Amino acid sequence: MEDLTTLMDRLPYILVASAINKVKLNYQYSKPYNPYSFAIELCLEWAFHYLQDRSETDNPTHVLVESRGRKEDTDLEQVFLSICDGENFLGHRLPFEVVFVDKKQNLSGLQLADLVCHPIGRYLLKPEQNNRAYEVVEKKFHRGTDGKLRGYGLKIFP
């Protein structure tokens, strides 16, 4: 675990993540968004902002997604395409293309995504609990020029 934590700390990556509190979402909205679709939209929008800050939006960016099965992949692809076609908060096209990858391909990017999810979720559910893994991950989030994390690299809704 120590070696993995050190590796996660040393790897060069920028993190953009979203978290949807489904209990609050259902309580706050009479017709709540689909939390998974909304989480994808938030991540794509903030990834777009990150690329835009670096003037890297001229060419499509591939977004690798772990394949979950034919029906699930088809449903996710439809949501992804509609978001990228302009059905998003920004109201314009986003330069992303989805690529489904089988977990058996053992891609390091998908492994990294798996490794950051748990510490983020644990931090959001129990922020007072010691969470060394989150301390490492937290340094990797995209931030605004003012150093702010929320609204740049981590979007929590509602």
Burial 83-117 (b: 16+ CB within 10 A, else e): bbeeebeeeeebbbebebeeeeeeeeebebbebbe
> pTM for this structure?
0.84
pLDDT of residue 66: 92
Residue 150 has phi, psi (to 5 degrees) of -70, 135
Task: Specify the pLDDT at position 58.
Answer: 93
Q: Which of 36-40, 45-49, 149-153 shows the lowest per-residue confidence on average (mean pLDDT)?
A: 149-153
Q: What pLDDT, on the 0 to 100 scale, is given for residue 77?
A: 96
Specify the pLDDT at position 53.
Answer: 87
Give yes or no for residue 87 having a pLDDT over 80.
Answer: yes
